[in-house]
Amino acid sequence: MAVNLDHVPILRAMDPQDMLEWVERFPEQVADAWRRADAMELPDALRGKRHIVVAGMGGSAIGGDLLAAYLAPRARVPVTVVRYYELPAWVDSNTLVIASSYSGNTEETLSAFEDALSRKAGVIALTTGGKLARLALDADVPIVSFPGGGQPRAALGYSFILLLGIAQALGYVTVSGEERGELAHVLDELNAAYASDVPEEENLAKQYARLLYGRIPYVMGAAVLAPVARRWKTQFNENSKQWSAFDEMPELDHNTVMGTRAPKDLAEDVMLVSLESPTDHPRVRLRWKITADIFRKAGLAQLRIEAPGDFPLTQMLGLVHLGDFISVYLAFLNGQDPSDIDNINYLKAELERSND
């Protein structure tokens, strides 16, 4: 299907639930999330926990991955993301469990929430409402709420920044005003550069979508950009309706580099996308260069993208924003509605029917 990415009315017609508009509102969403985070008041009893668990699924869990990566070099408390019905055996009263569910009705997260209460853990509910909010209210658990209305994956500005706000409010980390200022500035610049009314010849997001069209994106990142690579993969799945995979550097140098030889005809169908940062470990920077050479010799197409900004938050969310734009433009090239989740809805309906 030949799609002109510069014909905005056609794009809007292919996007009845306005996923592109949600992407374009990302900087605004991040700014509102910071305002909510700054006004946050949480019980002192939640301070000083030895471990943080973020329980969530899909778009509500990726914020936990970003939090874990961001806090790893900055906080003395580890963060574990749980995408399951039950919590690890070590969760106890010294653990802070944040149950993150956009709808408030995610069955795995509801189960983990009740498990956390039974373990006497410190618990916070992060949601727009639903059953999670009702259970939290009944259990006298703090609720961090935010506006709904779209798809969970379109609310990452809230689901990540509010998690970071919780960590800051409880004294686990401090995000400087300089870092927040750079993030806001760069997101506004990127939003203007990738917007739907910017022609493809000047729009990197549209150009990258065109390069990826007809290929399987294999997205790679290191340190704080590893969960960003995961985010790109899931956005290609849900928005673009196509296969994708993600990997992490330097681990991929210990296995993935050997996986390029079979099946032999796959090389022409794959596009390797490396999300690189000028602040990557020096050995990782060297690894990117050598690994790119290995992949080039294997005949694999590659797209190397450098993160914007000087601070980790800017690099993470700047590339998240780019990936979201690319995935929506790629959906249009694929002839797909980026908001449609018919397979997921079918699965949920079948699960619900099994409860009758």
CATH number at residue 39: 3.40.50.10490
Return the number of other C-beta atoms located less than 10 Å from residue 297's C-beta. Answer: 9
210 in the same domain as 151: no
Mean pLDDT of the chain, nearest integer? 96
**Do residues 289 and 148 both lie within one domain?**
no
Which of 95, 145, 152, 146 is CA-nearest to residue 119?
95
**Residue (of 354, 353, 350, 333) closest to 14 by Cα position:** 333
Task: Tell me, yes or no, whether 170 and 212 share the same domain.
Answer: no
Q: Per the confidence metrics, is the pTM higher than 0.95? A: yes
* pLDDT tens digits for range 89-122: 999 999 999 999 999 999 999 999 999 999 999 9
Q: Is residue 82 part of a domain?
A: yes
Tell me the per-residue pLDDT of 121-132, one tens digit each, with 9 for 90 and over. Answer: 999 999 999 999
Identify the band that residue 352 occupies on the pLDDT scale cut at 50, 70 and 90: confident
Same domain as 85, residue 45: yes
* Angle of helix 177-194 versus helix 312-333 axis, rounded to 10: 20
> Which DSSP string do the residues of 222-282 spell out, in sequence order?
EGGGHHHHHHHHHHHHHTT-S--EEEEETGGGGTGGG--SSSGGGGGGEEEEEEE-TTS-H
Q: Does any domain span residue 203?
A: yes
The amino acid at residue 173 is V
256 and 170, same structural domain? no
Q: Shortest CA distance to 104 belongs to which of 113, 94, 116, 117?
A: 113
Active-site option among 24, 108, 182, 238: 238
Residue 14 lies in a domain: no
- Co-location of 151 and 275 in the same domain: no
Specify whether 169 is located in the same domain as 204: no
| Domain membership flag for residue 126 | yes
Torsion of CA 26, 135, 88, 238, to 10 degrees: -30
**pLDDT score for 1:** 56
Cα(61)–Cα(98) distance, integer angstroms: 10
Q: How many other CB atoms are found less than 10 A from the CB of residue 200?
A: 15
Instruction: Looking at the structure, tell me whether residues 92 and 232 fall in a common domain.
Output: no
Mean pLDDT along residues 53-81:
97
Residue 118 domain boundaries: 19-175
- Please state the φ and ψ torsions of residue 287, each to the nearest 5 degrees: -60, -40
Q: Are residues 23 and 168 in the same domain?
A: yes
Query: Active-site residue 254, yes or no?
Result: yes
Name the packing angle between helices 62-71 and 226-238 (round to 10°): 170
What is the average pLDDT across 280-304?
97
Predicted pLDDT at 72: 97
pLDDT at 329: 98
Tell me which amino acid residue 355 is: N
Annotation marks residue 238 as catalytic:
yes
Find residue 106's DSSP bridge partners.
Answer: none
Domain count of the fold of the chain = 2
Residue 166 has pLDDT above 90, yes or no: yes
Cis omega (within 30 of 0) for bond into 73: no
Q: Of 41, 201, 254, 350, which one is the catalytic site residue? A: 254
Among the listed residues 21, 114, 131, 348, the single catalytic one is: 348
**Percent above pLDDT 70 for the chain:** 99
First to last CA, the chain: 42
The pLDDT assigned to 355 comes to 80
Shared domain for 75 and 122, answered yes or no, is: yes
